[in-house]
Amino acid sequence: MKQLICLEPGSWEFQEINFPKLKPGFAILKIRRIGICGTDLHAFEGTQPFFSYPRVLGHELAGEIVDIEAHSAFQKGDLVTIVPYYSCGTCRACETGKTNCCTHLQVAGVHVDGGMAEYFQVPIRNLMKDSALSLDELALVEPLSIGAHGIRRSHMKSGDRVLVVGAGPIGLGAAKMAQIAGADVILMDVNDHRLSHVHDKWGISLVMNPLKEDALATLKAYTNDQMPEVVIDATGSAKAIENSFPYMSHGGIFVLIGLQLQAISFSHPEFHKREGTLMSSRNATKEDFQWVMNSMKSGQIQASDFISHRLAFDQVPAEFSGLLDPQNRVIKAMISMD
């Protein structure tokens, strides 16, 4: 079987390896779809934190079970997605249901090898299926679940104004899940193409490019000086995060989905007088995956709204760098293994 390895930043290599031998508690998948995420792009660039090379990337996966021990929930032939967060099951976070932030967490394609391969062995406990979903939909569940987790963390209520800063795939997922939950969604980004894309398709009432307008003044006017009850950062940019603190309403919540490796600063008096809540949101849980899958099944999420580019497995080394070019207007690229 063949797998694709990122040897070092900017360098790919196909390798022939032995077909995996089935381990107890695992299933072997024939990989059918691989979504390319920001982690993969950053790893190729050499800017992904906490990362080591060489590494088999890929954790937004859809596959077909080709081998599995006798199991009540899964069998050969099932189409599945995977929860790529391998948790220990015994630390305090795991004991309280926060497997997404396990003390010893290993993420497929980041800390351990992922699924850019013809076949991939996965713990059965990390499989999820829904026979009503397509391969494209199954491969989109994981990235959309990250946004879903941030929305669930915010405890937003129907009718709340939710500002999502960053219209990459994660931010778009957060915006869509907030919209499904009944929020009045506001989207901010410096990419006009992505803003117009969702404004037209999803009917989001307010989109903003802070490079072209006074975002604070626009938000004050739109909310009658009340400001959004929930602010979501999906950029990971220190500048964007720090600029977003004034966008919170009094009593508001600021959720950091994006990761910034350096310290961030904000005005304590301004934050204090709002009695603001600042929280992080890491990865997702099976509850988030199920919410996304149910939303897909009900027709509230369309895969075509996210997938903008497609390529075959053999094309990845030659075409991957082009996915980083803003002129190509990539939202989500999908690798087909068919």
Tell me the domain boundaries of the chain.
2-129+306-336, 146-280
Lowest mean per-residue pLDDT among 45-49, 106-110, 208-212: 45-49
Mean pLDDT of 319-325: 94
Over the chain, what is the mean pLDDT? 96
Is 2-129+306-336 in CATH node 3.90.180.10?
Answer: yes
Per-residue pLDDT band at 330 (split at 50, 70, 90): very high
On whether the CB atoms of residues 74 and 129 are closer than 8 A, the answer is yes
Q: What pLDDT is stored for residue 70 in this prediction? A: 87
- Contacts by residues 291-294 (CB-CB < 8 Å, ≥ 24 positions apart): 291/145, 291/148, 291/152, 291/177, 292/140, 292/141, 292/144, 292/145, 292/148, 292/177, 293/128, 293/130, 293/133, 293/137, 293/141
Q: What is the mean pLDDT of residues 258-274?
A: 94
Residue burial 170-199, b: 16+ Cβ < 10 Å; e: rest: bbbbbbbbbbbbebbbbbbbbeeebbebbe
Q: Is the pLDDT reported for residue 5 higher than 80?
A: yes
For residue 106, the surrounding DSSP H or E stretch is strand 106-107
Is residue 205 very low, low, confident or very high in pLDDT (cuts 50, 70, 90)?
Answer: confident
By the 8 A CB rule, do 114 and 121 touch? no
Please say if the pLDDT value at position 50 is more than 80.
no
Q: What would the pLDDT profile of 100-142 be if each residue is shown by its tens digit? A: 999 999 999 999 999 999 999 999 999 999 999 999 999 999 9
172 Cβ partners below 8 Å, 6+ apart?
147, 194, 198, 305, 306, 331
| pLDDT of amino acid 9 | 95
Mean pLDDT of 140-163: 98
Q: What is the rounded distance in angstroms from the CA atom of residue 144 to the CA atom of residue 137?
A: 10
Q: What homologous superfamily does CATH list for 146-280?
A: NAD(P)-binding Rossmann-like Domain (3.40.50.720)
- pLDDT mean over 179-185: 97
Query: What's the token pair of residue 123?
Result: 């713990």
Q: Which residues contact 163 (CB under 8 A, 6 or more apart)?
A: 186, 187, 188, 219, 228, 230, 231, 232, 244, 247
Q: Is the pTM of this model over 0.75?
A: yes
